[in-house]
């Protein structure tokens, strides 16, 4: 888990696999760590629970965050990220299938850096993942 650069928070195994494949196919070669629910995301970020062996030095440099998550929803995860001094400056891209304007508005109010709606079409999904990865790589330069 050393030098994690992207944290992908996604509970749908198919969407996670597609996102990882698309990032790789588009030469986004950063290290990626996958967690599958909101509580696991917070445990990872705050080095607690099964991630208590991690240190704050290995913070992700980008979080791709789904909203519809088990245990703790994505907006609550985002709120926690922004309220914590150790995580508040990590860029967060909401990556969700939600079509609700309220989710987008709430996401931006809570400090999301971008909001990407997952399309159902493979080509559009690939393009959305590619843009999220390219956005992150541009931010780092």
Does 109 map to a domain?
yes
Q: What tens digit of pLDDT does each residue of 19-47 get? A: 888 888 877 778 899 999 999 999 999 99
Does 3 map to a domain?
no
- Domain carrying residue 126: 15-139
Question: Looking at the chain, how many residues does it have?
Answer: 141
Rounded-to-integer distance, Cα 22 and Cα 8, Å: 13
Q: What tens digit of pLDDT does each residue of 71-95 get? A: 999 999 999 999 999 999 999 989 8
Work out how many domains the chain is built from and give that number. 1
Does 9 map to a domain?
no
Does 1 map to a domain?
no
Q: What tens digit of pLDDT does each residue of 101-140 get? A: 899 999 999 999 988 888 767 777 777 777 777 666 656 5
Instruction: Please compute Rg for the chain using Cα positions.
Output: 14
Is pLDDT at 1 greater than 50 in this prediction? no
Between CA 133 and CA 141, with CA 138 as vertex, the angle to 5 degrees is: 135
- Which is nearest to 49 in space by CA: 61, 38, 60? 38
Q: What is the CATH number of the domain that holds 119?
A: 3.40.50.2300
Rounded-to-integer distance, Cα 20 and Cα 27, Å: 11
Does 108 map to a domain?
yes
């Amino acid at each position: 888990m050393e030098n994690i650069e992207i944290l992908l928070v996604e509970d749908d195994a198919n969407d996670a696999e597609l996102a990882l494949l698309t990032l790789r196919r588009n030469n986004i070669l950063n290290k990626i760590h996958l967690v599958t629910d909101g509580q696991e995301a917070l445990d990872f970020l705050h080095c607690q629970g099964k991630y208590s062996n991690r240190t704050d030095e290995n913070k992700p440099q980008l979080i791709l965050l789904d909203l519809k998550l088990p245990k703790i929803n994505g907006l609550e995860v985002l709120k926690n990220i922004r309220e914590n001094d150790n995580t508040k400056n990590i860029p967060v891209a909401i990556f969700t299938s939600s079509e609700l304007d309220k989710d987008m508005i709430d996401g931006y109010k809570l400090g999301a850096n971008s909001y990407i709606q997952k399309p159902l079409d493979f080509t559009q999904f690939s393009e959305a993942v590619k843009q999220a990865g390219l956005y992150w790589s541009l931010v780092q330069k």
